[in-house]
Homo-oligomer: A and B are copies of this chain.
Amino acid sequence: MLLSEIATKLQAQLTGDGQRDITGVNTIADAFGSELCFLTSTKHAKTLGQSAAAGVLVDKPMDDCDMPQLVVANVNAALITVLELFSPKLTAAEGVHPRAIVEPTAELDKTVAVGAGAYIGHGVRIGPGTVIGPNCSVGENTTIGSQCRLDSNVVVYHNCQIGNACIIQSNSTIGAVGFGYSFVDGQHRLIPHNGGVILEDGVEIGSNSCVDRAKFGNTVIGAGTKVDNLVQIAHNVQTGKCCLMAGHVGISGSTKVGNGVVFAGASGSSDHVEIGDGAVLGAQAVATGKIEPGQTVLGLPARDVRKELKSKSVYRNLPELAKEVKQLGKKVKKLEATKNNKN
């Protein structure tokens, strides 16, 4: 595709040679010959000079830059568009594979695709354009909206509600029974989980992640929330819209998460905790009590990041502090001895 054609698709202002043939996109460091690169942060601007790319996406013209430039309003948005242009062409899944099993009471829109070996249970309903991968399993009476994608070997249990435009990647499990036991007569007895799971529109779940069904009501993942791999979301958790949860996050039962909350890797919460809108939990942070809206927290128990970093900073030099205290102790002892001698 010619650089000038890409410029047209992006409604970008083109400087330099538009006749270059572009074959893909890569980073400033790794792009070569026929690849386009992109500048999302001015701090990388100085590395552009060494780049072997055929052109660059920028949000304002760069003066001292030899390569052709595509000037766009938003590099991140333009980058997504360009990457889509160069996405590998895959064979589209179409229709219900003859080796899929669809129970007769399931209602699938005629545009739904179901892969080989997938099992669609009784009373399931699936909306237009949704693609269910090979060897998935969708439980009784679950509904899945339109334009969703369940990749191979995803399991969604019964009575769950998946909204529109949701993506669930391989080997993830939605709607398993949560970890709720009562100790009765000398044994842990499972509390029946009569509730379900609701994934609102635009929720995306990575691979090998789990969202447990609720004991009562529903576990709810708010619209536009994105969940990485190997994440555990326990029964009755409710999250707001547009949250981000990175790998190995674990959110315990009945925790309420606001809108736009960010969980960094391996962070999480105790059960029944409230986390306010826009809060950010750093890596390995564990919220054990209320987190205020907009607060950035770290540590176990999680608290304000500045306080935690100050403690951590002293911690890292604790041996020196201990030595100082020891020396002070000696000096004070000497002062006391002097005083006593004088008396």
Contacts and interface: CB of A to CB of B under 8 A. Distances in A.
A2 interface: no
A284 B284 contact: yes
B119 A83 contact: no
A178 to B, nearest CB: 8
A207 interface: yes
Nearest to A266: B250
A311 interface: yes
B228 A230 contact: no
Given A188-B226, A216-B25, A83 B194 contact: yes
B265 A266 contact: no
A153 interface: yes
A4 interface: no
A76 interface: yes
A202 B270 CA distance: 27
Contacts of A283: 270, 286, 300
B316 A315 contact: no
Interface string A216-250: 11000000101011101010000000101011101
A99 B119 CA distance: 10
Contacts of A169: 173, 176-177
B328 A322 contact: no
Given A153-B137, A318-B310, A208 B206 contact: no
B284 A90 contact: no
Nearest to A317: B311
A181 B226 contact: yes
A182 B314 contact: no
A242 to B, nearest CB: 6
B265 A252 contact: yes
Interface string A126-155: 000000011101011100000000011101
Interface stretch (A63-71, A273-281, A329-337): A329-337
A319 B315 CA distance: 9
Contacts of A329: 324, 328
A27 interface: yes
Interface in A148-196: 151-153, 155, 157-159, 167, 169-173, 176-177, 179, 181-192, 194
B171 A77 contact: no
Q: Give the residue among A208, A215, A300 with the most B Cβ atoms within 10 A.
A: A208
A200 interface: no
B155 A77 contact: no
A61 B316 CA distance: 48
A101 interface: yes
A339 B338 CA distance: 8
Interface in A1-37: 24-27, 30
A79 interface: yes
Given A76-B182, A328-B329, 7 more contacts: A155-B171, A181-B226, A206-B210, A206-B212, A250-B266, A265-B286, A313-B319
17 contacts: A77-B184, A88-B158, A88-B194, A91-B122, A137-B152, A137-B170, A169-B177, A181-B244, A188-B224, A188-B226, A210-B230, A230-B250, A284-B286, A311-B316, A328-B329, A331-B332, A338-B339
